Amino acid sequence: MRKIIIFLSVWLPLALSAQISTFPYLENFEGTPNATTNLPNGWSESGLSSDGIWSTGNSTSASSAYLTFPSHTNFAYTNDDVCNCDKSADLLITPVFDLSALSAAQVSFDYFNDNGGFSPELTSIAYSIDSGLTFIPFDTLPMVTAWTTKTYDISTLTGAGFDKVVFAIRFDDKGSWAYGLGVDNVAITTPPSCTDPIANNATAITGNSATLSWVETGTATQWQVEYGTAGHTLGTGIKTIVNTDTFKLITGLSASSTYDWYVRAICGPGASDTSAWTTKKSFTTPCGAIMAPFTESFNTTTIPNCWTQSATSGGPWTFGGPGFSWNTSGCPGSSPLDHTGNSGKYAAMDFSVPDAGVILTMPQVDVSALTAPYLQFYFTMCGVGYTPLNQLNVEAFDGTNWNLVSMIQQGTTGWEEFTFTLTSYIFNTNQVQIRFRAEPGGGSVFYGDMAIDD
């Protein structure tokens, strides 16, 4: 929730309708709109555009060629993509509210104003205490890619003398087109006694743990955290109570997995003294070490789980093969069958374009179950018709740096086996990690396509 910050600016003066003094108040734009304004009765509009300014409808009627509103119930909208007219001052204006009998209040609404990556439009909100004769802006709304709820504490506008309060949301297309704004569920309610915390991003994420933290916006000293695998339904996850601290270390997670989490404040006994859950936050744990013995046969058309790749230039490694044609100068004229024998699946590097430092890195492997760990793989590369040959550099990680195990710079007549002892490349007691770095030899590199398997 945000408190209003006052700075004076005169918007267009309006003459508005009768006061509303019964709360809570909600306008969801589901009723039959006024035939003249196409807005709910009591609402008004102001602006310079020639298309009727604001309208009421759904995502279908509000959308156009260059602006798409996400699926939603009925809402108020303005869209300059259709009229391509002056929408620099489109005001959506609420009825007049008599807040004099209240001691605290908040205003909230849902909005959507994504412009698809074009130059930014401007959306702002203002209030008036003189029935809309003058407006005082108090916030500018950020661009959002989904319907988003904004809530403001307006308690400073309650009590004696505040019987002519009006709110206005202004859309300014900044003189361009393909923009628009949707507004829904405008509400004036009593602020909850227990305010919602603000969830931060997860930190200190490992393969089996993460630290969740949040910002308390009220006076709560107890919170409930819920987490679970991505996509789980709120209420079905793992729940835990946290006292005093605004963070929680969660353990027992699975490596290479995505989790969703939520937090809410507990201000006292009973549901009325518990805040709403925060919106979903997500994080992904990194890959853990794979237990040896371990074999990767590249049996899919995407990079295997927990493998990574990068390149100084060119690349990348492709998977599943065949995906390109081999050099035909003295070598096979088509992509080879895989070594495993399961319909041509392997990892391949096509040197048809300038390439350098094209790296394929396997995950860490736990070799604690092996007495003499070694690396074994099969390699094929045409070595005819060009010189010097392209290189496959096999490298091992020592916990800090990558070290060369061997450089393979030879042509093959088919799949050839290579093995390397890894005893001297173990780090952190029982960990081994290998990468394959393809480099051009300096000759006609497009002759030297290479592949590895198993």
Q: What ranges do the domains of the chain cover?
A: 2-189, 198-284, 290-453
pLDDT, tens digit (0-9, with 9 covering 90-100), for 329-349:
556 655 566 576 656 688 888
pLDDT of 102 higher than 90: yes
Q: How far apart are CA 287 and CA 345, in angstroms?
A: 23
More confident position, 422 or 63: 422
Q: How far apart are CA 358 and CA 392, in angstroms?
A: 10
Strand order in the sheet with 198-199: 198-199, 209-215, 247-251
Q: What is the pLDDT of residue 12?
A: 46
Question: Mean pLDDT score of the chain, rounded to an integer?
Answer: 86
Q: How far apart are CA 123 and CA 77, in angstroms?
A: 12
Highest mean pLDDT among 2-11, 32-41, 318-327: 32-41
Q: What is the pLDDT of residue 10?
A: 39
Distances (CA, A) of 276 to 148, 269, 302, 354: 15, 14, 41, 55
Strand order in the sheet with 90-93: 44-46, 90-93, 166-172, 122-128, 136-141
Task: Count other C-beta atoms under 10 Å from residue 37's C-beta.
Answer: 17
Structure tokens at 147: 């319907």
What is the CATH code of the structural domain delimited by 2-189? 2.60.120.260
Give 15's pLDDT tier (boundaries 50, 70, 90). very low
Give 174's pLDDT tier (boundaries 50, 70, 90). confident
What is the CATH code of the structural domain delimited by 290-453? 2.60.120.200
Give 2's pLDDT tier (boundaries 50, 70, 90). very low
Task: Count other C-beta atoms under 10 Å from residue 155's C-beta.
Answer: 17
How many alpha carbons lie under 13 Å from residue 103 in its C-beta half-sphere?
A: 1
Residues whose CB falls within 8 Å of the CB of residue 420, separated by 6 or more in sequence, listed in order: 374, 375, 394, 405, 406
pLDDT, tens digit (0-9, with 9 covering 90-100), for 319-331:
876 555 555 555 6
Residue pair 349/451 in contact (Cβ under 8 Å)? The answer is: yes
More confident position, 337 or 25: 25
Residue type, 317: W
Question: What is the residue-wise DSSP string for 258-278?
Answer: EEEEEEEEE-SSSGGGBPPPP
ω into 24 cis (within 30 of 0)? yes
Residue pair 176/119 in contact (Cβ under 8 Å)? The answer is: yes
Q: Do domains 2-189 and 198-284 have the same CATH topology?
A: no
Q: What is the pLDDT of residue 4?
A: 43
DSSP 136: E
pLDDT of 424 higher than 90: yes
More confident position, 248 or 62: 248
Structure tokens at 120: 């930014």
Residue pair 66/116 in contact (Cβ under 8 Å)? The answer is: yes
pLDDT, tens digit (0-9, with 9 covering 90-100), for 201-257:
999 998 889 999 999 988 899 999 999 999 999 999 999 999 999 999 999 999 889
Which pTM value belongs to this model? 0.55
Task: Count other C-beta atoms under 10 Å from residue 449's C-beta.
Answer: 23
Q: How far apart are CA 47 and CA 442, in angstroms?
A: 66
Q: What percent of the chain clears pLDDT 90, i.e. is strictly above it?
A: 52
Q: How far apart are CA 418 and CA 406, in angstroms?
A: 10
Q: How far apart are CA 222 and CA 244, in angstroms?
A: 6
More confident position, 83 or 409: 409
pLDDT, tens digit (0-9, with 9 covering 90-100), for 107-140:
999 999 875 555 556 789 999 999 999 999 999 9
Give 412's pLDDT tier (boundaries 50, 70, 90). confident
Which of 375, 384, 392, 382 shows the shortest CA–CA distance to 336?
Answer: 382
Give 429's pLDDT tier (boundaries 50, 70, 90). very high
Q: Dihedral of the CA atoms 343, 349, 350, 355 (nearest 10)?
A: 170
Q: How far apart are CA 207 and CA 256, in angstroms?
A: 7
Q: What is the pLDDT of residue 145?
A: 85
Q: What is the pLDDT of residue 255?
A: 87
Average pLDDT over residues 343-357: 79
Q: What is the pLDDT of residue 330?
A: 59
Which of 53, 5, 10, 56 shows the shortest CA–CA distance to 35?
Answer: 56
CATH 2.60.40.10 fits 198-284, yes or no: yes
Which of 269, 264, 273 shows the shortest CA–CA distance to 194?
Answer: 273
Backbone angles phi, psi at 404, to 5 degrees: -70, 125
Q: What is the pLDDT of residue 173?
A: 77
| β-bridge mates for residue 374, sequence order | 421
DSSP 352: T
**At 11, is the secondary structure helix, strand, or coil?**
coil
Which of 48, 69, 42, 43 shows the shortest CA–CA distance to 57?
Answer: 69
Give 273's pLDDT tier (boundaries 50, 70, 90). confident
Question: What is the residue-wise DSSP string for 47-107?
Answer: -S-SS-S-EEE-HHHH-BTTB-PPS-SSEEEEEHHHH-S--SSEEEEPPEE--TT-S--EE
Average pLDDT over residues 66-84: 84
Q: Is 53 exposed, middle or buried (0-12, 13-18, 19+ CB in 10 A)?
A: buried
Highest mean pLDDT among 7-11, 75-79, 331-335, 393-397: 393-397
Q: What is the pLDDT of residue 271?
A: 58
Average pLDDT over residues 283-297: 89
Structure tokens at 111: 């909005």
